[in-house]
Amino acid sequence: MRRNPPRLPAILAACLLGASAVPVATAANDAQRPNVLFIAIDDLRNHLGAFGVEWAKTPNLDAFAQTSRAFTHHYVTVPTCGAARYGLLSGRRPTHRAHLNNGGVMHNAEEWVHRSLPGIFQAGGYRTYALGKISHHPGGLTGGDWDRPPEEMPGVWDRHWIPDGPWEHARSIMHGYANGVPRRPGRSPAIEAHDGPDESYPDAWVAKDAVAKLEILADSDEPWFFGVGFFKPHLPFAAPKRDFDTHEGNVPDLEPEIAARRDWPSGWHNSGEFRRNYGHPGGRDPETHPEYARELREAYTATVTYMDRQLGRVFEALEETGLADDTIVVVWSDHGFLLGEHAIWGKHCLYEHSLRCPLMIRYPGMTAPGEMSDAIVKTIDILPTLADLAGLPVPDEVHGSSLRPQLDDPAAPSGRPALGYWGGQRTIRDTRWRLIVHRDGDQVELFDYDTDPYEIHNHAEAHPAVVEELRELLESTHGF
């Protein structure tokens, strides 16, 4: 069994956080400090009943939205797992090209990890735990099949682990099929509906360990930060058959104009993660086989419902242990996922359904729970927000801002617009417009969400002044 990393001495921790750091909490005030339960969900777009997707069966996320502040316009900075999680854990936009891919968390980790999200909580006297996928590598190890050192975030988690299920290692649990079967790249199916119990798939094991840990933490005298990372709805779209049965025939097809490739130079890509890593029966392609596209959309929705049921077990344990009244709870997804929009099956682009994804925050004593905020908010705002709520210092280099104004008042307006980066392209999103600037700097895409929410038309030629204004703002806040 892997040993837990040593905790930082208080003086060293304060130095790493900078001159503004506060002393580590004492036993006398630990009891008044809120715990943090941070839920990370992989590849979940705003595909929830709470966000108006009527066919999505997500009762636990919908119920949580009624007790929290749900942000309808939350955006990640880079639409891929590791880079999005770098933004979460650092509170920063990408400052090196390494931050644009799945190795971003590891890049120069020794220089920033103790000022990361778990780092500042650990320095502030919190015990820190991570279960499942919080950084890019489930369990936090990066060697071999992600089952041996080096650590992705050395020294800031008191424990980072994956559940002891039938999957051989972290890489196989990340892409897990039923009952421990690993993915065979290029051959395993994109869809699996197994006629078995919830424990056939990894997220039930994550929930089981999370519940057991919460029962232990209920007796803790120290405040804690506990990250719980679920795997679904990430590919493969694999879940118990009963969840497929729930959604069969209930997920509508996309309108052809929404699903079409655009007739201008665009951010379309060939959905490499989907096409290269999975086999497709009979060579079927969702772009040319509408029935396969329908199956995929139903399968994605089935995995969301499966994950939601496991999350419900964690929420129930939080209530039953008596921890709910003293715990900040965050539900976050690392990015969205296109289900055929723009003829793309995946993320890895700068369109709305790739960058926009759920964020919900609940904290003790919050005002107007259940009212949603339409403000533009970003993943990089989460670190300063949680530090604000817990009374901890924020590192000077953080790019995000606390969401306390929107938590106190759901009608509070947006602050700065959301920036995004992918494949040499950059984007900026304000309350109405999105501008995408392509690698050459000349080709741009402009979308007007007031009149064209599905990005069917490029409005750049019709609104040159908007293009120029947004381009100047994007250049002035360039991340790297």
> Which domains occur in the chain, in start order?
34-411 (3.40.720.10), 424-480 (3.30.1120.10)
pTM for this entry: 0.93
> Is there a contact between 441 and 399 (Cβ–Cβ < 8 Å)?
no
Higher pLDDT: 137 or 108? It is: 137
User: Which of 40, 1, 318 lies closest to 161, judged by CA?
Assistant: 1
By annotation, the residues acting in catalysis are: 81, 136
Q: Tokens 């509906």 map to which residue?
A: 193
Please tell me the predicted confidence (pLDDT) of residue 30. Answer: 55
- Residue 152 pLDDT greater than 90, yes or no: yes
> What is residue 28's predicted lDDT score, i.e. its pLDDT?
34
Residue 367, amino acid: T
Give the pLDDT of residue 98: 85
- Label residue 29 by pLDDT band (50, 70, 90): low
**The tokens 């919908």 sit on which residue?**
62
pLDDT digits (tens, 9 = 90+) for 41-70: 999 999 999 999 999 999 999 999 999 999
The answer to whether the CB of 231 falls within 8 A of the CB of 174 is yes
More confident residue, 106 or 190: 190
**Percent of the chain clearing pLDDT 90 (strictly above):** 88
> pLDDT at residue 415 above 90?
no
Q: Compute CA 71 distance to the chain's CA centroid, rounded to the nearest angstrom.
A: 13
pLDDT score recorded for residue 477: 80
Among 182-186, 240-244, 414-418, 474-478, the minimum mean pLDDT is found in 474-478
The answer to whether the beta carbons of residues 100 and 77 sit under 8 Å apart is no
Residue 102 banded pLDDT, cuts 50, 70, 90: confident
Please determine, for residue 21, whether its predicted confidence score (pLDDT) is greater than 50.
no
pLDDT, averaged across the chain: 93
Mean pLDDT of 234-246: 98
Peptide bond into 223 cis (omega under 30): no
Q: What is the pLDDT of residue 95?
A: 87
- Given a cut of 60, is residue 150 above it in pLDDT? yes
Q: What is the mean pLDDT of residues 395-413?
A: 96
**Percent of the residues in the chain that have a pLDDT greater than 70, as a whole number:** 93
- Is the pLDDT confidence value at 97 over 90? no
Residues 6+ apart with CB under 8 A from 408: 367
Please state the φ and ψ torsions of residue 320, each to the nearest 5 degrees: -65, -30
Instruction: Quote the CA–CA distance of 243 and 248 in Å, as a whole number.
Output: 9
Per-residue pLDDT for 16 more than 70?
Answer: no
Residue 406's pLDDT is what? 97
Least confident of 94-103, 160-169, 195-204, 286-295: 94-103
Residue 251 has which token pair?
């997920």
pLDDT of residue 480: 60
Confidence band of 478 (pLDDT split at 50, 70, 90): low
Strand partners, 226: 37, 129
pLDDT (average), residues 302-331: 98
b/e sequence 244-278, b meaning 16+ C-beta within 10 Å? bebbeeebeebeeeebeebeeebbebebebbbebb
**Which residues lie closer than 8 Å to 174 by C-beta, 6 or more apart?**
133, 138, 146, 231, 234
The confidence band for 31, taking pLDDT boundaries of 50, 70 and 90, is low
Note the pLDDT of residue 19.
Answer: 35
pLDDT at residue 104 in the model: 87
